[in-house]
Structure 1
């Protein structure tokens, strides 16, 4: 019997000095440590996932589709699968990282549920969506090119049935530079408290600054209004991480 290395699933990607820090990508190395990375980097993540499940249970309608866009390892899909009581629903989980999709399929298949879940490798900007009662975009839009975000939100709105629910979670920035810096420092304190070193924090920041472009909250609300959502409100925020719900 082999003994599992206790460090195997710990995020140590940026623990050693790197001559040149490459842009962050959701590759096999990240997949191996992703749960630990998320837990130690995103405040309130478990609360967000649990609430996504709760919301899906409330808003999923019979004979509709449920979409998890940018599904990563399937945490949101599994939470929704546990909570959905509506009949003849289907969860469609999509991600453009082959490594994520391969591992996500393993996670989804490990837990049985009444609601079928299909995991697909694809581009959420071009994948067709239709007849949806719930659509989730959990910390994914920030990795989409800013000029393409409005079209994606419009596509989501068009795919939702009347009364359908959209859940959006993102890292945001404050327009006030003093408040922006404070929230950033509080987030860094959160990382330090979870065991990340100054080197890890600095190198991760360098890796992600070219691939993750946060918006201000007003940008999100404006896009939702323009896409035809009747109601939208933030329901969670911790430091510069938030989640909102929008109803068609």
Structure 2
């Protein structure tokens, strides 16, 4: 399917609203995330590869905050365990509708894919089934910080022995110089991908009250407190990283 270019912040806005995953964002989302998140395609494809090492027969695989279903598609390309069910969840009606369209297109190209249930809903209220793989791909950072520990504890309780959580997030850094360096490099990445100074500034204003990044140390301790036994960073590009948390 064709995608529109992200021009949402290209013109001066009289008032910058908080960022929401509405129809306008959905329309340009593939272009937006590719040009904004360093390493995003590598992360998504390798979540599928990693999931294939942990997926177990007769369990669920969760894509929480699935947006357009990129991770779900990667899971279905790589996981071959018998009788697995993918559950993709997002609270944006526009995202869910488009996700279903994309997955239908994937169904027409591949045979014997894992079944998938796409749900519009709040992952904080989700009743988890026994699962061997849970993906939180740039989702936790949009959840209120005080609600994050309980969600991770519930995920840990749902994971079967030998399962895994894959957590991808934008990072902040405790060291001020390190934080400034990686922020500047991320802005340079966006400039190199064609975003103007106006677009970068307006997008930052729109998202700063919505997305609350944590440090790697905070993520690690929170996951251990939730009952995970080991946290292994497997990818980092600039200030974006992905971790594997083991029960």
Quickly name the TM-score band, shorter chain normalised.
Answer: over 0.9
Determine whether 1:246 maps to 2:241. no
Q: Which residue of 2 aligns with 1:60?
A: 55
Distance 2:132 2:156 in 1: 10
Could you give the per-residue CA deviations for residues 57-112 of structure 1, whole angstroms, max 9, x where no partner exists?
11110000000000000000000001111000000000000000000000111112
Q: Which residue of 2 aligns with 1:194?
A: 193
Distance 1:131 1:156 in 2: 9
Q: Which residue of 2 aligns with 1:21?
A: 16
Could you give the per-residue CA deviations for residues 153-179 of structure 1, whole angstroms, max 9, x where no partner exists?
101101100111100000011111111
Residue 117 of structure 1: CA displacement? 0.6
After the TM superposition, which segments of 4 or more aligned residues of structure 1 sit over 4 Å from their partners?
none
Q: Which residue of 2 aligns with 1:234?
A: 233
Determine whether 1:203 maps to 2:198. no
Q: Which residue of 1 aligns with 2:124?
A: 125
Unaligned runs of 5+ in 1: none
| Partner SS state of residue 94, structure 1 | strand
Distance 1:128 1:94 in 2: 12
Distance 1:41 1:76 in 2: 17
Residue 114 of structure 1: CA displacement? 2.4
Q: Which residue of 2 aligns with 1:182?
A: 181
Q: Which residue of 1 aligns with 2:148?
A: 149
Q: Which residue of 1 aligns with 2:34?
A: 39
Aligned length: 243
Distance 1:159 1:122 in 2: 18
Determine whether 1:77 maps to 2:72. yes
Q: Which residue of 2 aligns with 1:48?
A: 43
Between 153-162 and 225-234, the greater mean CA deviation after superposition: 225-234
After TM superposition, the score normalised by the length of structure 1 is: 0.96
Unaligned runs of 5+ in 2: none
Of 84, 97, 105, the residue aligned with 2:100 is 105
After TM superposition, the score normalised by the length of structure 2 is: 0.96
| Partner SS state of residue 114, structure 2 | coil
Residue 244 of structure 1: CA displacement? 0.4
Could you give the per-residue CA deviations for residues 205-234 of structure 1, whole angstroms, max 9, x where no partner exists?
000000000001111101111111112111
Distance 2:163 2:228 in 1: 10
